[in-house]
Amino acid sequence: MQLKYKMDNLESSIIELEEELKNAQINFDKQQKLLEERLIAIYEAGETRFLDVLLQSKSLSDFISNVYLISEIIKYDNELLESVELEKISIETRKKTLESQQEQLKEARNSSEETEIMLANLKTVKNKYVSQLTLKEQELQTTIEQYNNEIKEIESEILRLTYLNMDSDYSGGIMAWPAPGYTTITSPFG
């Protein structure tokens, strides 16, 4: 019962992990596409250097504005790189967890199958033992019946012999002898 419960938990966990992995992969693909588009834009812009952009500023407010925009672009690029890297690590971790749980489920199923086979073998052995016992019981019953028949034959022979040896004349007093057929006293006491 515990094995079935464990297998059910592993199966539900695997389904959840597969769904999470699917969503993470979709998110990763989107971030990867954004990163590729950003790298293409940087490549197409050529060798524009941030210093050149700053030096082309026409006023102090334009310069401050360009510094702010450049810092935001750098910040965005760094965040995008970090999020792509983190998503990649997250996907790899989930894949490893999924593989581990799938392996555990496989082992649990193998264990379940082995247990079922072992139980089937035990049932077969038990049935064989029971059938052997029934055969032995039948043999013992036959032997008991033979002994009972022999006992009946011996008892009937004893009765037959007792009636044959009995005298038809009664030689006692008012009381009968304790054993029919025996009329001699072997002990002089009393």
Radius of gyration of the chain (CA): 52
How far is residue 146's CA from residue 133's CA, in Å, rounded to a whole number? 19
- 82, 79, 81, 55: which is closest to 67 by C-alpha? 55
> CB of 21 within 8 A of CB of 91?
yes
How far is residue 7's CA from residue 110's CA, in Å, rounded to a whole number? 11
How far is residue 118's CA from residue 175's CA, in Å, rounded to a whole number? 75
> What pLDDT is stored for residue 105 in this prediction?
83
Token digits of residue 37: 């588009």
Tell me how crowded residue 10 is: count the other CB atoms within 10 A of its CB: 19
| pLDDT tens over the chain, length 190 residues | 677 777 788 788 888 888 888 888 888 888 888 878 877 877 776 656 666 666 777 787 877 777 777 778 778 878 888 888 888 888 888 888 888 888 888 888 888 888 889 999 999 998 888 888 887 888 888 999 999 999 999 999 998 888 776 655 555 556 666 666 666 767 777 5
Which residue spans within 95-159 are E strands per DSSP?
A: none
> What pLDDT is stored for residue 51 in this prediction?
65
How far is residue 27's CA from residue 14's CA, in Å, rounded to a whole number? 20
> What pLDDT is stored for residue 124 in this prediction?
92
> What pLDDT is stored for residue 175 in this prediction?
64
State the amino acid at position 111 in one-letter form. S
> What pLDDT is stored for residue 146 in this prediction?
95
Helix (H) and strand (E) counts for the chain? 3, 0
Tell me how crowded residue 24 is: count the other CB atoms within 10 A of its CB: 17
State the amino acid at position 78 in one-letter form. N
DSSP SS3 for 90: helix
In the DSSP assignment, the letter for residue 178 is S
